[in-house]
């Protein structure tokens, strides 16, 4: 007899949202939380580089090119149908028409279907867009030799001894090594799919999210440039996480990009502003910053676990661009992106420990005195130091801001601010300069 349990409820939900699953275009780790009744599941993506020059890489290139061929062939069919009938074929129609196609049969059926699915989806969105924008172009053809993204569903993936066996086609497999962070595991039961794109494999898997902690203290985080993160806990301990790592990566790549940019400009007589090498450099920059943010968030989460934190509160990022604290354009650019990354990474790492991440409006947290509440933009003095013009309270400006965020949140949730759990006005400060290891393939850039 069919029993209705939360597990089935979740499965039903998962199936309902299945069609959109190929719209996956994340660069590294992205968080997907599905909340069904009583059950928390989370999707994580682990990104692994596929070694260059190996057999696997070659086989995947070939499969990626077959995906291109399927895309183009099916796209040709769609265009034809559109011109002849004024209708766009559905995914099911494509699946039926291309079931025995020469190229489709060279791949695992699900891998070929994923291409058709994506194409059908692209036509759908073009169809919708066309209503408001008559000039919109239908999905284009891909260059003959290009390598498309390849998707392997869990039917084409086996997990064995911490390796993945991907089925390219009947009887043809390749093996992939992977690493996941401590505490999580990829199994046959939780793997969702693997996508290969640009020489990387994105492994998507489900993990169960522990129930949110009910007991514990609150930690507030203030984000900044000189100090990427400054944390203050209810027990009065403050930690300053230096921004040196992120800043030096940023500085290094900015310089290299500017250098290369002027070369490109000169060589093209001012016509060209961008090149493939330049996008490669900016990709490397993003990757390294993300790497540094991984290390940083990991160490914050470790601290949370050690000191029994149940909630972490952070300033609302939507206001960060408007904030007066970011006056340089370049740092705005870095931080609009960096902070978003930071929050995403922090959120999922905390979630794995059952710790909630909440936001409060950051407004005037940097101008307000955390002791007496006096707000004055001249309170904040130079070189990251805060001095209240009313009561004379002095503190590191980022710690002062973090205390304000903490107090604001405690006040909103009706918890006692002063007193036994009292936020200390003279916090114990610990500095963390961050031992940030660089990626092996990126080291030459850092050093050079
Ligand atoms: Zn004051």
DSSP letter string over 277-333?
HHHHHHHHHHHHHHHHHHHHHHHHHHHHHHTTEEEEEEE-GGGTTT-TT--SHHHHH
Q: 34: buried, middle or exposed (CB in 10 Å: 19+, 13-18, 0-12)?
A: middle
| Dist. CA 303 → ligand 1 center (Å) | 29
Q: What is the pLDDT of residue 321?
A: 47
What pLDDT is recorded for position 126? Answer: 94
User: Residue 60 in 3-state DSSP?
Assistant: helix
Looking at the fold, whether 149 and 254 belong to one and the same domain comes out as no
Identify the pLDDT of residue 334: 53
Last residue of a domain, one of 187, 209, 231: 209
Same domain, 134 and 261: no
- Same domain (yes/no): 241, 360: yes
Q: What is the pLDDT at residue 22?
A: 32
At residue 23, the pLDDT reads 33
For residues 146 and 284, state if they share a domain.
Answer: no
Is 221 found in the same domain as 199?
no
Task: Confirm if 242 and 432 have CB atoms less than 8 A apart.
Answer: yes
State how many domains the chain has.
2
Compute CA distances 268 → 129, 264, 273, 281, 437, whole Å. 36, 6, 8, 19, 37
Give distance in angstroms: CA of 373 to centre of ligand 1: 6
How far apart, in whole angstroms, are the C-alpha atoms of residue 353 and residue 356?
A: 9
The pLDDT value given to residue 323: 46
Strands 428-432 and 237-242: parallel
395 CA to middle of ligand 1, Å?
11
Positions of the chain with pLDDT under 70: 1-41, 317-337, 381, 416-448
- Give residue 279's domain range: 217-447
Same domain? For 226 and 346 the reply is yes
Look up tokens 């002095």; give the residue: 394
Using DSSP's 3-state secondary structure scheme, residue 171 falls into: coil
Largest Cα separation within the chain, whole Å, is 80
Tell me the CA–centroid distance for residue 390 and ligand 1, in Å: 5
Same domain for 221 and 155, yes or no, is: no
Instruction: Give the containing element (helix H, strand E) for 403.
Output: helix 397-412
Q: What is the 389 CA–ligand 1 centroid distance (Å)?
A: 7
Mark which of 176, 209, 242 sits at the end of a domain. Answer: 209
From the CA of 400, how far away is ligand 1's center (Å)? 11
- The answer to whether residues 379 and 319 belong to one domain is yes
Task: Judge if 299 and 232 occupy the same domain.
Answer: yes
């Amino acid at each position: 007899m069919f029993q209705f349990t939360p597990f089935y409820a979740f499965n039903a939900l998962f199936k309902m949202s299945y069609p959109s699953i190929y719209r996956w275009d994340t660069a590294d780790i992205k968080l997907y939380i599905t909340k069904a009744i009583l059950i928390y599941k989370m999707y994580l993506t682990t990104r692994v580089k596929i070694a260059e020059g190996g057999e696997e890489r070659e086989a995947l290139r070939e499969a990626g090119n077959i995906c291109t061929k399927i895309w183009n062939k099916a796209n040709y069919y769609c265009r034809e149908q559109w011109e002849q009938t004024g209708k766009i074929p559905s995914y099911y129609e494509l699946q039926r028409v291309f079931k025995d196609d020469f190229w489709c049969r060279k791949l695992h059926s699900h891998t070929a279907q994923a291409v058709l699915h994506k194409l059908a989806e692209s036509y759908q969105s073009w169809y919708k867009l066309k209503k408001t924008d008559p000039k919109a172009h239908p999905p284009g053809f891909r260059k003959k030799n290009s390598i498309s993204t390849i998707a392997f569903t869990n039917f084409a993936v086996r997990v064995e001894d911490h390796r993945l066996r991907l089925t390219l086609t009947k009887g043809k497999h390749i093996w992939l090594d992977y690493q996941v962070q401590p505490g999580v595991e990829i199994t046959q039961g939780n793997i969702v799919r693997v996508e290969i794109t640009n020489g990387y494999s994105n492994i998507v898997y489900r993990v169960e999210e522990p129930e949110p902690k009910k007991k514990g203290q609150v930690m507030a985080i203030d984000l900044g440039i000189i100090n990427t993160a400054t944390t203050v806990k209810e027990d009065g301990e403050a930690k300053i996480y230096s921004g040196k790592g992120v800043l030096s990566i940023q500085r290094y790549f900015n310089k290299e990009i500017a250098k290369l940019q002027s070369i490109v400009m000169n060589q093209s007589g001012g016509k060209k502003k961008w090149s493939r090498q330049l996008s490669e450099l900016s990709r490397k920059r993003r990757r390294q910053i993300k790497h540094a943010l991984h290390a940083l968030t990991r160490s914050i989460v470790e601290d949370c676990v050690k000191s029994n934190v149940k909630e972490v509160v952070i300033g609302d990022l939507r206001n960060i661009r408007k904030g007066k604290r970011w006056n340089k354009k370049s740092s705005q650019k870095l931080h609009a992106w960096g902070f978003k990354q930071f929050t995403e990474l922090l959120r999922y790492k905390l979630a794995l420990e059952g710790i909630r991440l909440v936001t409060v409006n950051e407004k005037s947290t940097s101008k307000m005195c955390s002791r007496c509440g006096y707000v004055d933009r001249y309170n904040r003095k130079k070189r990251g130091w805060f001095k209240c013009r009313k009561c004379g309270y002095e503190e590191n400006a980022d710690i002062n801001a973090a205390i304000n965020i903490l107090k604001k949140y405690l006040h909103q949730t009706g918890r006692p601010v002063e007193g036994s759990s009292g936020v200390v006005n003279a916090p114990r400060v610990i500095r963390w300069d961050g031992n940030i290891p660089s990626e092996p393939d990126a080291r030459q850039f850092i050093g050079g």
